[in-house]
Amino acid sequence: MHWHNQPWFNHSIILAFIIASIVIEMCFYRKIFKSSAEHDVLDHVHEVGDGSLQQFKDHHTVIGDEGYTSGLYYSDWSPYPPRKHFPHDIDFSKVSHIYYAFFLIDGHTGELKSSDEWSDFQMDLYKPLAVKLNQLQLKNDDVHASMGVLPKGCVGELFYLRHTGILDRDKGRHFKVMMAVGGWSNRDQWPKMVRDPRRVENFINSCVETMFKYGFDGIDLDWEFPQNDGFEPRMYLELARKMRLKFDELEEVIFAGEPNHPKFQLSMATPAFKDKLNVLPIKELDRYIDVWNMMTYDYHGEWSPVTGYHCNLYDGPVKVHSQYKHDSSSDDEGLDANSAISDMINRFGVDSRKITLGMAAYGRGFTHVKASSNDKRFIDKSFHGVGGASEGEPGMWLYNQLPIKGSKEEYDPEYVSGFCFDHKTKTFVGYDNVESVKVKADYVKEMGLRGGFWWESCGDNHIDPQRSLLNAFTGRIKTIAKNENSVYHKPEALRYYLEKFGQDEFLSPFIIRIISKSH
């Protein structure tokens, strides 16, 4: 007879036996298994949704060892109207990193907290996922059968999608999910936290505990921005140092000295203009930072005296004819990506393969621009107002809302920026488009950078492949770095999760199910 026709008490007894076996294994694992037999308990993990068993080692060589990273910041406000953008809307075959934004600091305690518990941990996203699987004609029996144990919210769905690769079994499992901490709205809490040693310790411990509890592969620090007071920059360095040490301790506990295990990553959302870069102890920080995510956008906006592109690669026609490795030594602000990238490499000595180029899936605009009918370029002009079509974000349009209705999308090859201009309302918007992203992909390769990323995923066009910025970038880059597996693809990490948190933590039921299917 089929399993689902068996009496329920038989099912319960067998499940209870499996859980009891796992608990016994957790209790005695570190005392008993110290030889090669250590790996006999869980040599492979079942890919949920597939009837076969596959060894972990099979997943280390899906795409080779070379390539460039392709990252997306995913915000926990994305699922809500009008954006309605869910993790399962992302093409994970083209992504190496998801930066989940944001977890917030409580400056009075140093503790980390969710910025939206419903979106992060409680929203049920598996019904729309099942609909999408039906549309893609992919098998979805497992989604329906596992509703009771699948972790909820955007955080839970990302763990599920990364662990199963259900949207793309060849390439969809191979991406890291990073926990982004801070952000612009949380900027006032960093100075409060770093001025009390007890809060600093609470912050470090809370970050690493939260990271592991919710299945993140590392932490992305986003302090916007330390003041040039001699203290805050030094404390940012101390936070990075302490975080790295805490990562090392956790890895040692999980992997017990095993060589060549996956590592938790530490990245930093990095300012990309001289005024803020000069404040940071870049050379010292570089000892602890794995990835420098250069925020090469927001160069112009409502705060600017005149109009300008906000995500331009160069600052004018001189740069387009210069060599890529331009030595940015002028005294100007350097409001362009190339100046910031060049400073990181040439002034601060950062290895180019640790640097990722930020791109914008949104535009910044200006209204009532003083322009004539003969103008071909609309920067360096006076304006009055900033307009905007992105809810709650004055002066901003999501890329998928552009070009403005009634205007024409254009491209400036000297600055490397897309733009549009509405002649009726005199509204100018600068933004990344398919053409600028392709040039930036070439720049990444020429400069030997690690890759690129976007703020933020909900702004891209996920419906029209020809308009997708992610498609344009990865199509030009060719090879995405998929060789670095998630920590949670290793059985040791799953075992330690249950040992540390027990059966009732956020990911525990799903992890128990994974392990039970492998026995």
Please write the tens of the pLDDT for every residue from 329-367.
344 468 999 999 999 999 999 999 999 999 999 999 999
pLDDT at 225: 97
Indicate the pLDDT class of residue 170, thresholds 50, 70 and 90.
Answer: low
| Active-site choice (224, 414, 435, 505) | 224
Is residue 388 over pLDDT 80? yes
In contact, 415 and 430? CB cutoff 8 Å:
no
The more confident residue out of 393 and 42 is 393
Q: Are 481 and 95 spatial neighbours (Cβ–Cβ below 8 Å)?
A: no
Q: Which residues contact 372 (CB under 8 A, 6 or more apart)?
A: none
Which pLDDT tens digit goes with each residue over 429-472?
A: 999 999 999 999 999 999 999 999 999 999 999 999 999 999 99
Q: For residue 33, what pLDDT is reported?
A: 35
Whole-prediction pTM: 0.86
Is 60 exceeded by the pLDDT of residue 14? no
pLDDT at 171: 66
Q: Tell me what percent of the residues of the chain surpass a pLDDT of 70.
A: 81
Domains of the chain, first to last: 8-296+336-350+442-518 (3.20.20.80)
Q: What is the pLDDT of residues 45-80, one digit of tens each?
A: 223 333 322 222 222 223 334 799 999 999 999 999
Query: What whole-number distance in Å separates Cα of residue 486 and Cα of residue 497?
Result: 14
Active site residue 111: no
Contacts of 217 (CB under 8 A, 6+ apart): 176, 177, 178, 262, 264, 265, 486, 487, 488
The per-residue pLDDT for range 272-327, each reduced to its tens digit, is: 999 999 999 999 999 999 999 999 999 999 999 999 999 999 998 754 434 444 44
Integer Cα distance of 36 and 498 in angstroms? 21
pLDDT beyond 70 at 40: no
The pLDDT value recorded for residue 485 is 79
CB 272 within 8 A of CB 253: no
CA distance 301 to 304: 5
> Across the chain, what does the average pLDDT equal?
85
